[in-house]
Amino acid sequence: MLYVFVGNHLAGTTEAERAAALTRREQWQWPEGSQPVAEFWSSASASLVCSLFEANDTAVVFQFAADWNDVFDGVVVPVATPEQGRKIGFAIAARGGG
């Protein structure tokens, strides 16, 4: 299953803490059972991080969030590709939902 993490630095994060987080990211490894798909960082003024990853176990999602909850106010959301979304949407419509 695909997940996206979107996070902003916690309010009050200092420049030194942001720099330490960047250093930590260089050494950090994705949790076992996950596969990164893409990662994007916005400009320094926005300090937004967006990571797309695959995982088949929700424990991996919890681990990912736990690894970064001291740095980011973030959310992890299950997502689908457009192709997957269409299949899901058609299935829901066929059942009379949505």
Contact 72, 17 (CB under 8 A): no
Contact 23, 15 (CB under 8 A): no
- Residue-number span of the structural domain to which 26 is assigned: 2-94
Residue 98 has pLDDT above 90, yes or no: no
Residue 23 has pLDDT above 80, yes or no: yes
User: Across the chain, what does the average pLDDT equal?
Assistant: 90
Residue 78 has pLDDT above 90, yes or no: yes
Backbone angles phi, psi at 90, to 5 degrees: -65, -40
Q: How many domains does the chain have?
A: 1
Q: What is the mean pLDDT of residues 76-97?
A: 90
Task: Flag the least confident range among 3-7, 19-23, 43-47, 60-64.
Answer: 43-47
* pTM: predicted TM-score of the whole model, two decimal places: 0.82
CATH number at residue 36: 3.30.70
What does the block give as tokens for 81? 């590709």
Beta bridge partners of 76: 5
Residue 11 has pLDDT above 80, yes or no: yes
Cα–Cα distance for residue pair 58/55, rounded to 1 Å: 7
Q: Give the pLDDT score at 15.
A: 87
Cα–Cα distance for residue pair 22/69, rounded to 1 Å: 14
| The residue to which tokens 């996070």 are assigned | 7
